[in-house]
Amino acid sequence: MLTDDGKHLYVSWDEYHLLTERLALKVHNSGWQFDQILCLARGGMRPGDVLSRVFDKPLAIMSTSSYRAEAGTIQGRLDIAKYITLPKGELAGRVLLVDDLSDSGVTLQAVVERLRGMPSISELRSAVIWVKAASTYTPDYYVEHLPTSPWIHQPFEEYDALRPEKLAKKFVV
């Protein structure tokens, strides 16, 4: 649900799951066949996992990080993992790159450039749930374009400030 000021988008778990399923259908309806999914951790892990299950394709993971300051609301230096984690083999063939959103576009663009330099990848396409108007990169597949570039409050963010001690209090009887 977008707030009246257009600066915040609050997403429930149910909405998040439906959007991820819509993303899977967009990829499917395109008719493009791919061999592997590479998700960007952390935001792309949930949609990447769902797409991996729906399409029955291997899931690879690449860690990236740029949001650290102010409880993850300020973008800092982009860090991209040197290695990609796969269950077996190497990242190769037709690869679907999955993340949750294209915010500024910096992360996706940097990862796409790195992957396009890998001779084992014959074709690369990208998929996200949201694309903000402020993004300089437009993925091949996305569910929602956000013209006001709001801050997206995703349902799993409740865990960002939850520590074991606080969690333990939840189960005290």
- Residuewise pLDDT in 10s, the chain (173 residues): 655 577 999 999 999 999 999 999 999 999 999 999 999 998 999 999 999 999 999 999 999 876 544 444 555 567 777 778 887 889 999 999 999 999 999 999 999 999 999 999 999 999 999 999 999 999 999 999 999 999 999 999 999 889 999 999 988 86
CA distance 92 to 168: 43
Q: Do 47 and 27 touch, CB atoms closer than 8 A?
A: no
Q: Does domain 8-170 have CATH number 1.10.730.10?
A: no
Per DSSP, 85 falls in state B
110-114: long-range contacts, CB 8 A cutoff, minimum separation 24: 110/78, 110/80, 111/40, 111/62, 111/64, 111/80, 112/137, 114/80
| The CA-based dihedral angle spanning residues 19, 23, 24, 26, taken in that order and rounded to the nearest 10 degrees | 130
- Model pTM? 0.88
CA distance 93 to 34: 8
Q: Where are the domains of the chain?
A: 8-170
